[in-house]
Amino acid sequence: MTTAFTEPRSAPPDLPQPRGELSRAVTAALRDGGCLLPDAPRVTDADPYGGDLQLALYVLYELHYQGFEGVDENREWDPALLAFRRTLESHFLAALRTDVQGSTSADEVIAELLVEPATDDGTGVSHFLRREGTLAHLREYAALRSLYHLKEADPHAWVIPRLHGRAKAAMVAVEYDEFGAGRAENVHARLFADLMNDLGLDTAYGRYLDAAPAEALATVNLMSLFGLHRALRGALIGHFAAVEITSSPGSRRLAQAMRRLGAGPAAVRFYEEHVEADAVHEQVVRHEIIAPLLAAEPHLEPDVAFGVEATSLLEDRLARFLLHAWHRDGTALRPAVRTSAR
């Protein structure tokens, strides 16, 4: 007997618990209908990578995706909220521009991503999970990644109207694959929900937001930041390239980890699907999206490079956080939520 699939996004999530002055102001404004928001100096005093600012940004971005239970959908375009979001974004973006290496060559930064260790002695998260991770580690990893994967490819779809010609056609082709090539059961967000189900996790959209550390929120916020601004379309393509180029080898290791720990067929399938699909996507992104985009708009090359470097910066921060917690036999989740089985 097959269990009917429940669409994770069939209902909006509840507003999360605030983590400081900025996120408290945002959630209060959305819950109560007001707009008493902190001024710019309070934002610039905050840690641009910290949980308070990142949660405030995440909540404001989520108004453009699924929204929240009890929040008027018209708040998506509330001028005061948009102005406050802009202040938060500016602080976050300034920190990113300061902290990346600042390459202006897309070819150089992409070439660095293409280099895999000659032996499987890497120290990244997928290496750890493949070699020594436990089922509990896999479940924490999936819970945190659900913030993106339950809306996989949605942030990148924002760039489609901002491209033209070969770059647009190729971007649509890749997104078509991400959205299941016309079959709902093959939409990658659906495949990830199936993975979560195999791991005994709650598949409800936004379920693990309160559990996510700032490092996880920042990786998702980066996509929304780039996707929602036409001026950052080059950076969004750089982000997309970084994801697709690093996905195939990492997904292979994660599929091996799932198989080793008996996570279930759907858990293995999600990553095996990405091994094959993203190996193809990598070539398409490099030769059919980036090449024609830069031929038409060469001034975007530093932005493409920035998108790659910012993605690597935030993914490295998240990896260090996870591995530090796991090597100390701790949890990577905030105490608000645990990934206990249903």
97, 176, 230, 240, 341 from 309: Cα distances, Å:
9, 26, 19, 12, 37
Cα dihedral across residues 39, 75, 153, 185: positive or negative? positive
CB 292 within 8 A of CB 167: yes
Report the alpha-carbon distance of residue 246 to residue 135 in Å, rounded: 23
48, 183, 219 from 52: Cα distances, Å:
9, 38, 15
Predicted local distance difference test score (pLDDT) of residue 33: 83
If 0-12 CB within 10 Å is exposed, 13-18 middle and 19+ buried, where does residue 121 land?
exposed
A 10 A CB-CB count for 86 gives 13
Report the predicted TM-score, pTM, of the whole model to 2 decimal places: 0.94
Residue with tokens 């436990």: 134
* Alpha helix stretches (DSSP H) within 185-300: 188-198, 214-227, 233-260, 265-284, 291-296
Predicted local distance difference test score (pLDDT) of residue 15: 97
CB 87 within 8 A of CB 78: no
Q: What is the DSSP letter of 290?
A: I
Counting as low any pLDDT under 50, the low residues of the chain are: 1-2, 118-119, 338-342
Q: Which residues of 155-186 are buried (b: 16+ CB within 10 A; e: fewer)?
A: bbebbeebbeebbbebbeebbebbbbeeeeee
Predicted local distance difference test score (pLDDT) of residue 118: 44
Structure tokens, 342: 């249903």
Predicted local distance difference test score (pLDDT) of residue 155: 97
Distance of CA 30 to the CA centre of its chain: 23
Structure tokens, 93: 């973006």
The domains found in the chain, sorted by start residue, are 8-99 (no CATH), 106-327 (1.20.910.10)
Predicted local distance difference test score (pLDDT) of residue 117: 54
Report the alpha-carbon distance of residue 265 to residue 267 in Å, rounded: 5
Predicted local distance difference test score (pLDDT) of residue 2: 44
Predicted local distance difference test score (pLDDT) of residue 108: 94
Predicted local distance difference test score (pLDDT) of residue 161: 97
Those residues with Cβ within 8 angstroms of residue 197's Cβ, 6 or more apart along the chain or in another chain: 203, 266
First to last CA, the chain: 19
